[in-house]
Amino acid sequence: MSLTGRRIVLGVTGGIAAYKAVEVCRRLVDAGAHVAPVLTEGATRFVGEVTFSALASEPVQTSLWDEASPIPHTRLGQTADVILVAPATARLLSAYASGYSDDLLTATLLATRAPVVVCPAMHTEMWEHPAVQANLDTLRSRGVTVVPPAEGRLAGGDVGTGRLAEPGDIVAAVEAVLAGSAPERDLAGVRVLVTAGGTREAIDPVRVITNRSSGKQGYAIAAEAAARGALVTLVTTVDRPAPAGAAVVEVVSAADMEAAVVPRAADHDVIVMAAAVADFRPVVVADHKLKKHELAAATDGAPSIVLEPTHDFLVDLGRAKRPGQLVVGFAAETDDLIPNARKKLEAKNLDLIVANDVAAPGAGFEHDTNAVVLVRSDGVEQDVPLTDKRSVARAVVDQIVELRSTPIP
């Protein structure tokens, strides 16, 4: 769904997550939308008006009384294609649900017939309070789209549900609303296991062998699958906010990941191995921090660590898959992308492999963007040019849905 030419009123309220609204604003504008930012007085305590005025399509508005238009809320409400509130505080949700208007944003929400998307963000105790949940139920009953918060580290250092949804998920929700529907529920009830992140193989209690994987692509796939109704299990090595509703299993090493994935495999309909699992690990793991002289080889004084291959349990998953089960792999390559990906696809009996040139600018590890080629075992290929990782995830899940509806013989 293109946002080109669509007029979006972006409401920002006074919560610590207001800083993330800057990235939401940038992504909407980059997607072609005309963004009109409206900040509450509380929001200006966390973020600056100048920042939004510079990034958005028109200057920030904050007041019912100080604007050039005598009725700014009516103009904003009547001309909007959608109104997005991110973050939405408990106070905003309460005012909106009860029809109480005391500032420009709440007045605009009451003065529009455009669809509304609210993205709550608050501390866990506030999020779980019956009054907040009752207000959300009221808003949902009136057709408001609620993008639920994620679980993760909160302001103050504790962990729980309440983090503002990721910017990519928020933009995807706006796209879905403007397309005239909620996100597709084409994976409703489907059990999906996703792995994410790079494993860490211990040398000693301090040092590890690892790789550059951030887990962002795996998390994006888990979030997309969950948004489309799947029952998601996410096996991960990284500490990132988990997609709403996903069951998270934390692991460290390749052996840990194997121990977490293999026993669960038979109970899942789709397995997506997005994690960068180490190919090698030290033969011996010291029980103390090794000193330099302990690492030095007797011959020339250079550090010496003897490695052994890790077990490639994706091969086992491919061989053991039951009828109707899909197994998806990733191929992170720096050359001969498609030939290498096809070799892995065939050798591991996969249904789909995501070929990823990690040497390409803006693609692969640690980036927020990616460019891939989706290669199926029936020979079908789909090129996904450089885009954000949630859009890549959407393409991967689209292929999964298609393969489930028309299985490869």
Active-site amino acid positions: 211
CB neighbours of residue 190 within 10 Å: 19
Residue 353, amino acid: I
Q: How far apart are CA 205 and CA 98, in angstroms?
A: 56
Q: Could you identify the residue written with the tokens 């879905």?
A: 176
CB 67 within 8 A of CB 105: no
Contact present, 296 and 244 (Cβ < 8 Å): no
User: Which residue pairs from 127-134 have beta carbons closer than 8 angstroms and sit at least 24 positions apart in sequence?
Assistant: 127/161, 127/162, 128/161, 129/90, 131/94, 132/90, 132/93, 132/94, 134/97
| Cα distances (angstroms) measured from residue 100 to each of 38, 47, 250, 315 | 17, 25, 44, 59
- Give dist(CA 131, CA 120) in Å, integer: 14
CA neighbor of 272 nearest in space, from 324, 350, 216: 350
Strands 116-120 and 82-88: parallel
Of 162, 232, 230, give the one whose Cα is nearest residue 193: 232
Whole-angstrom distance, CA of residue 343 vs CA of residue 160: 42
Q: In the beta sheet, which residues pair with residue 233?
A: 193, 247
Provide the H-helix boundaries in 56-103.
Answer: 72-79, 90-98
Q: What are the tokens at 267?
A: 């109970």
DSSP letters for 132-190: HHHHHHHHHHTT-EE-PPEEEE-TTS-EEEEEPPPHHHHHHHHHHHHTTSPPP-TTTT-
Q: Which two tokens stand for residue 299?
A: 């011959």
Q: In terms of Cα–Cα distance, which of 265, 238, 254, 365 is closest to 312?
A: 254
